[in-house]
């Protein structure tokens, strides 16, 4: 029996694959590589010494999905695949509704067709919109303030409806706070295309000298130093939460949402300071205007995950910064780094990776 990982070549999915394989699970990866590189998959194999099947299939390709389910004995799905850039979702909302919502509808239809009724879904703290109270608990009011957030909310709702109609489904909805960091090996990490939207990859690129300075989006928030406060969570802790969620749904029917965060908030200035310490580099910054849609404070109450999933974040802000810096320094151009071109990476367009599985 295997776990299907949609979006397994992506930032969080790749870290989840490593932990799944190291825990002895069989893994099948499905990805269309729209925001990732097959090189990440080669690195997963190098790190774990384990083989797994990979399908270059789009969630919107229903026949392709059926092919994956027909060829493999899948017991559960970790559903990471999705588009995640908030700004782009405002400019091209239909692309987001189509990819994220319709893609998930197809996936659930095929899961139902093959009697696979266990899913761990990648949701986001964005479903809390501008939270009324912090720390945020799972029963806080849900709302979305941009199309990306609305796709996450819609998917959460459709998953509830699926369970209402068929109580054999077992679903864990994980609401991630701010995933950062990288695997401690420095072999896999976040590889944003173009200018990073998020704080940590931006800081890392400034430290590496790829960008001259960071813009701090607002220093007049009602917080300890005036800058925005977030709950940064190490991606390996986040990956491990998925293994706990899989165990949980094995034992519990129903649909449950869990906050996946540390419960501790850090300001932008604290993150800059921690990164300077970890990297030994100075991070030049200027204070600029607030970014549209940003909130002052966002951090989790992670008690439910601690008590029900038996999961707790273990890696602190220093590990988050050190591991990000190791990844950034070892891979200055992400997966496009020179060393990889010598390893003859699998081409996205290769006939080998079209729909048929390739084994890594």
Site for ligand UD1 in 155-184 (CB under 6 A): 178
The yes or no reply on residue 231 touching ligand NAD (CB under 6 A) is: no
130-133 LR contacts (CB < 8 Å, sep 24+): 130/295, 131/295, 131/297, 131/298
Query: Binds 38, which of ligand NAD, ligand UD1, none (CB < 5 to 8 A, cut-off by type)?
Result: none
Stretch that binds ligand UD1, among 184-192, 211-219, 276-284, 319-327 (CB under 6 A): 211-219
Q: Which of 72, 89, 104, 122 binds ligand NAD (CB under 6 A)?
A: 122
Whether the CB-CB separation of 103 and 81 falls below 8 Å is answered with: yes
d(CA 204, CA 196): 10
Binds ligand NAD (CB under 6 A): choice among 3, 27, 29, 36: 36
Closest among 97, 3, 9 to 348, alpha carbons compared: 9
Whole-number Å distance between alpha carbons of 338 and 13:
24
Is 96 an annotated catalytic residue? no
The item of ligand UD1, ligand NAD, none sharing an interface with residue 29, based on CB under 5 to 8 Å by kind, is none
Task: Report what 294 binds from ligand NAD, ligand UD1, none; CB cut-off 5-8 Å by kind.
Answer: ligand UD1
SS3 59: coil
Q: Kindly write out the interface string for residues 144-183 of this chain, putting x where it contacts ligand NAD by CB under 6 A and - elsewhere.
A: --------------------------------x--x----
Number of Cα atoms under 13 Å in the Cβ half of residue 257: 24
For residue 257, state whether it binds ligand UD1 (rule: CB under 6 A). Answer: no
The minimum distance between CB 127 and ligand UD1, in angstroms, equals: 9
Between 10 and 302, whose beta carbon lies closer to ligand NAD? 10
| Residue 336: φ, ψ to 5° | -85, 5
- b/e 294-313 (16+ beta carbons within 10 angstroms → b): ebbbbbbbbebbeeebebbb
**Cα–Cα nearest to 33, from 331, 332, 353:** 353
CB of 123 to ligand NAD, least distance (A): 7
Planar angle of CA 28, 15, 265, nearest 5 degrees: 140
Residue 202 near which of ligand UD1, ligand NAD, none (CB within 5-8 Å, type-dependent):
ligand UD1
User: Does residue 135 have a cis peptide bond before it, meaning omega lies within 30 degrees of 0?
Assistant: yes
Copy the structure tokens of residue 125. Answer: 């703290």
Options 59, 120, 214, 297; binder of ligand NAD; rule CB under 6 A = 59
Tell me how far apart the alpha carbons of residues 98 and 282 are, in angstroms, rounded to a whole number: 42
Residue from 4, 5, 13, 325 binding ligand NAD (CB under 6 A): 13
Q: Least distance from C-beta 138 to ligand NAD, angstroms? A: 15
Q: Nearer to ligand UD1 by C-beta: 126 or 331? A: 126
Q: Which is nearer to ligand UD1, 130 or 352 (CB)?
A: 130
Binding residues for ligand NAD, rule CB under 6 A, total 26
Considering the rule CB under 6 A, would residue 31 count as an interface residue with ligand NAD?
yes
Q: Which residue is nearest to ligand UD1 (CB)?
A: 228
What is the gyration radius of the CA atoms in the chain, in angstroms?
A: 20
**Counting beta carbons within 10 angstroms of the beta carbon of residue 205, is it exposed (0 to 12), middle (13 to 18) or buried (19 or more)?**
middle
Residue of 88, 217, 308, 329 interacting with ligand UD1 (CB under 6 A)? 217
Which listed range, 43-51, 193-201, 254-262, 331-339, lies at the site for ligand UD1 (CB under 6 A)?
Answer: 193-201
Question: How far is residue 166 from each of residues 23, 105, 159, 161, 252, measured CA to CA in Å?
Answer: 30, 15, 11, 9, 14
* List of residues contacting ligand UD1 (CB under 6 A): 86, 124-126, 178, 197-199, 202, 214-217, 228, 230, 268, 291, 293-294, 298
* List of residues contacting ligand NAD (CB under 6 A): 7, 9-13, 31-36, 58-60, 80-84, 99, 103, 122, 124, 176, 179
Catalytic positions are 148
């Amino acid at each position: 029996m295997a776990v299907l990982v949609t979006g397994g070549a992506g930032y969080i999915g790749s870290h989840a694959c490593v932990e799944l394989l190291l825990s002895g699970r069989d893994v099948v990866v499905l990805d269309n590589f729209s925001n990732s590189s097959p090189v990440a998959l080669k690195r997963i194999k190098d790190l774990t010494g384990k083989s797994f099947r990979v399908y270059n299939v789009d969630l919107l390709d229903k026949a392709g999905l059926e092919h994956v389910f027909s060829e493999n004995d899948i017991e559960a799905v970790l559903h990471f695949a999705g588009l995640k850039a908030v700004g782009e979702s405002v400019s091209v909302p239909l692309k987001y509704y189509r990819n994220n919502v319709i893609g998930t509808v197809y996936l659930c239809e095929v899961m139902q067709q093959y009697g696979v009724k266990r899913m761990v879904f990648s949701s986001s703290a964005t479903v809390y919109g501008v939270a009324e109270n912090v720390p945020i608990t799972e029963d806080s009011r849900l709302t979305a303030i941009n199309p990306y957030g609305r796709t996450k909310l819609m998917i959460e709702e459709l998953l509830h409806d699926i369970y209402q109609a068929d109580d054999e489904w077992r679903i864990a909805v994980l609401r991630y706070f701010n995933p950062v960091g990288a695997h401690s090996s420095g072999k896999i990490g976040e590889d944003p295309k173009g200018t990073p939207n998020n704080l940590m990859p931006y800081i890392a690129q400034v430290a590496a000298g790829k960008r001259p300075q960071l813009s701090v989006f607002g220093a007049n928030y009602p917080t300890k130093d005036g800058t925005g406060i977030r709950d940064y969570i190490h991606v390996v802790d986040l990956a491990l939460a998925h293994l706990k969620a899989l165990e949980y749904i094995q034992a519990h029917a129903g649909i449950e949402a869990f906050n996946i965060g540390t419960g501790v908030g850090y300001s932008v200035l604290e993150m800059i300071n921690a990164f300077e310490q970890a990297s030994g580099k100075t991070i030049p910054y200027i204070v600029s205007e607030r970014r549209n849609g940003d909130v002052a404070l966002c951090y989790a109450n992670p008690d439910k995950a601690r008590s029900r999933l038996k999961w707790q974040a273990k890696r602190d802000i220093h590990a988050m910064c050190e591991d990000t810096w190791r990844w950034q320094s070892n891979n200055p151009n992400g997966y496009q780094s020179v060393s990889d071109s010598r390893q003859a990476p699998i081409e996205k367009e290769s006939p080998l990776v079209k729909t048929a599985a390739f084994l890594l």
